[in-house]
Amino acid sequence: MLKFPIYLDHNATTPCDPRVLEEMIPYFANFFGNAASRNHPYGWQAAEAVKFAREQVAALVHADPAEIIFTSGATESDNLALKGVADAYAARGNHIITVATEHKAVLDTCRHLEKTGTDISWLSVKPDGLIDLNEMEKAIRPQTILIAVMYANNETGVIQPVHAISEIAKRRGVLFFTDAAQAVGKIPLDVISDGIDIMAFSAHKIYGPKGVGALYVRRKNPRVRITAQMDGGGHERGMRSGTLNVPGIVGLGKACEICLNEMESDNRRIKTLRDKLENALLNVEGAVLNGNKLHRLPQVSNISFRNADENALMISLSKEIALSSGSACTSANPEPSYVLKAMGLEDELAKPSLRFGLGKYSTAEEIDFTVDRVGAVVRKVREEFETNMKM
């Protein structure tokens, strides 16, 4: 039996896996110690739990546990990476390269750095959402200290050529940072073979709790330096002070362990459902898929419906299907998705776009209902639009 509203917004957040919650619960009450308290069993238990979680997280991304820095989430990790590198390498250079389609946590942090003297180059993307590697390499200067390119886009699911980017960065002596909040736990990822120097990710995107994330910081070849952005007790190798969120960290660790064991089988099923949804909806007149069809995450489909009012679409669907529009809209000032606009879409396609984000709990029945309902709503919205145009 279907439960409404059907949840198809897994790029925004995911429900906590019951196994993750079960692992976390003891650390709220029974094992409530501060992981920095080294003089009694309560602190020792907490520290041991954090140590184990660090190993679980590192195993998922093929890092050394000592390279994992716990944070409050990917936004904090993005800020720490960008501002921390800008500070630590200021004597060497003040130029950072990033992309117009990055998450706001990267874009806004880079804009902040611009105001404080850092020179930022903003790369464009091709119509399929991929960057031009030649354009990126041409943007590198003697003063360039960092290239920041997200692993997979949160709106379209497009996966950037991370290995090729890292090869160029390494050859030119530049650090490579990636916001991998949408990629970690969704697709196989190896910081060593991918050549990643710094990487941000978050628990709540992979069926873990909100309010906890991590930053991978490479320790050798090269050893990356990051200046702390928060002063205090010098926790997390001096990069991130503050009492550790032990229950959240335990949850992140368990979520990573589950992803490592179940990602492959989950992805096969999710991709089958996504393709079924996508193939059916692309049969709707005027439907257009946004983003590269081959190089993308298995659970995402971003589709525009030409000649359909975006507000009417979302209002008509919201009670039965929870999903996101490609537009950041308010009733007074609807704005098309900056990601889709950067890909060259005109407003008539960028505005009426829907992002379908499937997850491991999505069912075939939910997809069948969504296909029928979205198709019917699009047709209804278009009829109303045409009627209003004739009046």
Residues designated as active site: 329
Q: Which of 194, 213, 195 is nearest to 203 (CA)?
A: 213
Give the number of C-alpha atoms closer than 13 A to the C-alpha of residue 143, restricted to the C-beta side: 12
CA 84, CA 251: separation in Å to the nearest integer? 26
Torsional sign, CA 182, 184, 190, 191: positive
Name the 3-class secondary structure at 378.
helix
What token pair was written down for 140?
A: 């590198």
DSSP at 129: S
CA 336, CA 352: separation in Å to the nearest integer? 8
Name the 3-class secondary structure at 146.
strand
- Whether the CB-CB separation of 100 and 124 falls below 8 Å is answered with yes
Q: Buried b / exposed e across 279-313, counting CB within 10 Å, b at 16+?
A: ebbeebeebebbbbeeebbbbbbbbbbeebbbbbb
